[in-house]
């Protein structure tokens, strides 16, 4: 069992040894190859993922087939289309592995069982959802008000070292610019 997962829970709640054992019994493990798709639009999200190793991305594909990265999920992050998972709605986004990855996941029925037996887990996921909403608001605000260079600097602060691990085109998609412009900007400004 991943110590990283248990330490992630410990960021917001305290689990007794017995509760930790319940979590360990309920969580499942999977390895995911680079480029594997874990969720496609139109499906209902059946799992909430914790990234133990590797990196996932969440993106939207527009009518012209252009992919727009909305979020990255490196180690110690949770990945999910939250509305699809908790409300059984059809997903509008895709989740894909950018690297060979190792994930832990809960299904909603298992998570609901844990919420009933370990109330502090419901608090943990409430805080996680609040933090995700805060991150989304900041991302929207920055995309409307910051320059491409400022958005790139913010990306590097938010995802330390990720620019060394993933393709430049993935970062450019997240920033809303072309890969060529990102390359030129990084070169011209020594970023």
Domains of the chain, by residue range, sit at 3-117
Strand partners, 97: 56
Please provide the average confidence, as pLDDT, over all residues in the chain.
Answer: 94
Q: Name the band, by pLDDT with cuts 50, 70 and 90, for residue 187.
A: confident
**How much of the chain, in percent, has pLDDT values that exceed 90?**
90
pLDDT of the residue at 1: 59
Q: How far is CA 9 from CA 78, 123, 125, 127, in A?
A: 11, 10, 9, 11
Closest C-alpha to 108, from 83, 91, 131 = 83
Pick the CATH number of 3-117 from 2.40.50.140, 2.60.120.10, 3.30.70.2700, 3.10.510.20: 2.60.120.10
Quote the CA–CA distance of 170 and 35 in Å, as a whole number: 12
Region 105-118: mean pLDDT is 96
- Whether the per-residue pLDDT at 190 is higher than 80: the answer is no
Which run of H or of E encompasses 81?
none
Beta carbons of 105 and 51 less than 8 angstroms apart: no
**The pLDDT of residue 55 is above 70:** yes
| Token couple for 122 | 């419901």
Structural tokens at position 140: 């929207």
CB 71 within 8 A of CB 170: no
């Amino acid at each position: 069992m991943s110590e990283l997962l248990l330490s992630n829970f410990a960021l917001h709640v305290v689990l007794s040894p017995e509760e930790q054992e319940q979590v360990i019994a309920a969580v499942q493990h999977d390895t995911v190859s680079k480029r594997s798709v874990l969720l496609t639009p139109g499906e209902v999200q059946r799992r909430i993922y914790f990234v133990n190793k590797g990196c996932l991305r969440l993106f939207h594909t527009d009518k012209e087939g252009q992919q727009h990265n909305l979020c990255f999920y490196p180690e110690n992050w949770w990945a999910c289309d939250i509305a699809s998972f908790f409300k059984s709605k059809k997903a509008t986004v895709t989740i894909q592995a950018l690297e060979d990855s190792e994930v832990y996941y809960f299904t909603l029925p298992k998570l609901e069982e844990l919420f009933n037996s370990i109330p502090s887990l419901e608090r943990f996921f409430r805080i996680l959802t609040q933090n995700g909403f805060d991150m989304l608001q900041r991302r929207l605000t920055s995309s409307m008000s910051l320059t491409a260079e400022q958005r790139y600097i913010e990306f590097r602060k938010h995802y330390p070292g990720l620019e060394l691990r993933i393709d430049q085109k993935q970062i450019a998609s997240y920033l809303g610019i072309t890969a060529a412009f990102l390359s030129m900007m990084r070169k011209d400004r020594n970023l």
